[in-house]
Amino acid sequence: MPVAAGLAEQARTARCDHGARRWLLYLTQEQTESVSYGFWLHRMTGSAMEANHFARDYGITHHPAPRPAASPASRRASPSEQP
């Protein structure tokens, strides 16, 4: 999944709300999904903290599409199955 258009610029122009101790970042739906995907990738490396915070605060998580199951015709026969 490529990074959503304009996401890098939005990240560069984000500002910090020191009172709330948060960064203010205004994103489109596509950019938000791209961020969610990035957190999912980060979680796959062993750190789920950021992805969990993002999911809790914004209700958005990335769920990869399931891989289609291989059909029996496309499956290779193992050596023991060959005639």
- Tell me the pLDDT tens digit for each residue of 19-73: 988 889 899 999 999 998 988 888 888 888 888 888 888 888 887 777 777 665 5
Nearest to 61 by CA among 29, 36, 25, 41: 36
pLDDT-derived band at 80, boundaries 50, 70, 90: low
In a domain, 50, yes or no: yes
In a domain, 51, yes or no: yes
In a domain, 4, yes or no: no
In a domain, 13, yes or no: no
Which of 13-17, 61-65, 70-74, 77-81 tops mean pLDDT?
13-17
Calculate the alpha carbon distances from 9 to 35, 38, 61, 69 in Å: 13, 16, 22, 39
What span, in angstroms and rounded, lies between the C-alpha atoms of 59 and 61? Answer: 7
In a domain, 33, yes or no: yes
In a domain, 39, yes or no: yes
pTM reported for the whole predicted model: 0.58
Domain of 42 in residue numbering reads as 26-62
Secondary structure of residue 28 in the 3-state scheme: coil
Number of domains in the chain: 1
